[in-house]
Every structure is written in structure tokens, then in C-alpha cells.
């Protein structure tokens, strides 16, 4: 079974600064995906960024980037130039990479980190 | 295109009563998932439908929970009888299989959740 750990229940950052959210995971799988999801207050959870474990290059999406350390089983999220709209709960999640039909695509989540961006 | 919708957004019931949650996935999405987040804990997988068939129901807590997806469109999750520990936010997500044949990744799109409070 997989586990995902987010050790920072809450964090805050000043607008325009950079913040890094931590995530570690435990798995015996070699092929998998890692995700960061964002849930703004009273809104739906949306995908921020995705990383395939077989890719060494860290994923980047505009101001969001990850630091993926496969050997250390670490997957941190860096938010550059933080904006007020980045205030949200951030969830780190794991999914086994499956092949063939009848695969199970369930996500395993961490407890989340509540990020507040202050003006 | 409409996203995943869930009804109701909030439900407050007495212990022992029955509640039915509904999820309407994105049109054309064969995969439908239910997850639950109990206060302060991780979001946990409950079950996964592929069309109308239950692919994986390993996360269902007990037989007081019944999920259905008749016709492969919307899904319902019934809790009968509800207990105090059932309180939490119930998320639904849907996805369509993407990617090359035999290698699958599917982005899950989440609904806003139903907040269930059992008194």
C-alpha cells in the first residue's frame, strides 16, 4: 500500500514571494504518477501539476514547479511569485501507473497543506 | 462544458437516518470515483466505477454504504443508517482514459463535494 505524507498542516507567504510545500511518499512501485491538487476556499479541487516517475525532468507549469527526488521519495511543490489567488488547501497525491485494461486509477492523498498568501 | 456536479452541497442528518448523495460526472467520462475526507485526515478512496460496473470498492468502510451507477451516467452513494463517524466531505471525480494503448493516465476532475454532518 502507498502512503503520502504532508508534514506542514499550514503555511503562509507574502504576496510575490516564493514558497515550497513538502510531500514525501512511500511505495514499492516503480512506475507511478505524482500530483499536486489545489482546493481554493469553497471551490472545487483542481489539478495543479503532474509528474511521471519515469521522467527525470521536473515538471513545470507557469509559476508552479516540482522538485522530484525519486530515490528519496520526495515531491515538493514550489510556487513562485505567490498571488492572493494561490490561497488554498494543497494536496499531494499518488497514483500507480497502470497498463492494460481494468486498471485501478485510485489516488492516494496526503492530509493537505493550507497555504495562505498575505497581501 | 459542465464540470462534475454533486448534490446536495451540505446535508445535516440525525444518527440512524438515511442520506443519499448524488454525483453527475462530466459527460462521456466512463470512470467515476468516490472519495471521502474526514476532518483533519486524508482524502480516502471509496470506490471506482467503470461505466455501470464497480471496478474497485475496496475503500468502502462497511455495508452501510451502497453506491450505484445505473446506466453508467450519474452515481448515488447511500448511507443507511448513518453514524457519527460518517461525517465528512464526500468527493466525486470522473475521468476518461487517455494516452497510448496499454499505457494509461487519466486526469481526475473533481466535484465540489458534499459536506455530510451526522448529529
Query: How many structural domains comprise chain A?
Result: 1
CATH (domain of A92): 2.60.40.10
Burial B71-82 (b: 16+ CB within 10 A, else e): eeebbebebeeb
What is the largest distance, in Å, between two alpha-carbon atoms of chain A?
49
Residue B13, judged by CB atoms within 10 A of its CB (0-12, 13-18, 19+), counts as middle
Look at residue B104 and tell me whether its pLDDT is greater than 70. no
d(CA B55, CA B58): 9
User: Which pLDDT does position A55 carry in this prediction?
Assistant: 86
User: Which pLDDT does position B62 carry in this prediction?
Assistant: 92
B1-35 residue pLDDT tens: 689 999 999 999 999 999 999 999 999 888 999 99
A31-77 residue pLDDT tens: 889 999 999 988 889 999 999 888 889 999 999 999 999 999 999 99
The region of weakest confidence among A18-27, A48-57, A68-77, B96-105 is: B96-105
Gap from B24 CA to chain A (nearest CA, Å): 14
Residue-number span of the structural domain to which A25 is assigned? 3-98+107-118
Residue B103 lies in a domain: no
> If you average pLDDT over every residue of chain A, what do you get?
92
Dihedral of alpha carbons B52, A32, B60, B65, sign? negative
Residue B91 lies in a domain: yes
Place B100 in a pLDDT band, splitting at 50, 70 and 90: very low
Q: In this complex, is the C-beta atom of A33 within 8 Å of any C-beta atom belonging to chain B?
A: yes
CATH (domain of B80): 2.60.40.10
Residue B102 lies in a domain: no
Look at residue A98 and tell me whether its pLDDT is greater than 80. no
Residue-number span of the structural domain to which B54 is assigned? 5-97+108-118
Provide the β-strand partners of residue B75: B23
Higher pLDDT, A2 or A22: A22
User: Which pLDDT does position B98 carry in this prediction?
Assistant: 60
Query: How many structural domains comprise chain B?
Result: 1
Give the helix ranges, DSSP H, for chain A: none
Q: In this complex, is the C-beta atom of A98 within 8 Å of any C-beta atom belonging to chain B?
A: yes
Residue B69 lies in a domain: yes
Task: Decide if B103 and A99 are in contact by the 8 Å CB cutoff.
Answer: yes
Q: % helix / strand / coil in chain A, to the nearest 5?
A: 5, 50, 45
Gap from A62 CA to chain B (nearest CA, Å): 19
Task: Decide if A91 and B31 are in contact by the 8 Å CB cutoff.
Answer: no
Smallest Cβ–Cβ distance between A106 and the set B33, B104, B110 belongs to B33
Amino acid at each position: 500500500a502507498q502512503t503520502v505524507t504532508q508534514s506542514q498542516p499550514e503555511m503562509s507567504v507574502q504576496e510575490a514571494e516564493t514558497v515550497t510545500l513538502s510531500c514525501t511518499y512511500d511505495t514499492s512501485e516503480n512506475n507511478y504518477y505524482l500530483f499536486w491538487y489545489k482546493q481554493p476556499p469553497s471551490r472545487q479541487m483542481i489539478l495543479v501539476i503532474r509528474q511521471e516517475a519515469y521522467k527525470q525532468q521536473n515538471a513545470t507549469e507557469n509559476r508552479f514547479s516540482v522538485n522530484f527526488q525519486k530515490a528519496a521519495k520526495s515531491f515538493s511543490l514550489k510556487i513562485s511569485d505567490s498571488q492572493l489567488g494561490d490561497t488554498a488547501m494543497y494536496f499531494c497525491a499518488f497514483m500507480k501507473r497502470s497498463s492494460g485494461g481494468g486498471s485501478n486509477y485510485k489516488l492516494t492523498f496526503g492530509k493537505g497543506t493550507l497555504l495562505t498568501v498575505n497581501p | 462544458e459542465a464540470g462534475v456536479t454533486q448534490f446536495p452541497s451540505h446535508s445535516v442528518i440525525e444518527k440512524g437516518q438515511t442520506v443519499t448523495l448524488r454525483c453527475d460526472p462530466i459527460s462521456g467520462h466512463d470512470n467515476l470515483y468516490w472519495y471521502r475526507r474526514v476532518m483533519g485526515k486524508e482524502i480516502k478512496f471509496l470506490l471506482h466505477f467503470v461505466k455501470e460496473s464497480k471496478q474497485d470498492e475496496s475503500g468502502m468502510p462497511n455495508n452501510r454504504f451502497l453506491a450505484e451507477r445505473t446506466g453508467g451516467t450519474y452515481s448515488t452513494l447511500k448511507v443507511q443508517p448513518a453514524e457519527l463517524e460518517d461525517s465528512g466531505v464526500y468527493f466525486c471525480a470522473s475521468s476518461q482514459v487517455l494516452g497510448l494503448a496499454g499505457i494509461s493516465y487519466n486526469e481526475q476532475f473533481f466535484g465540489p463535494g458534499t459536506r455530510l454532518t451526522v448529529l
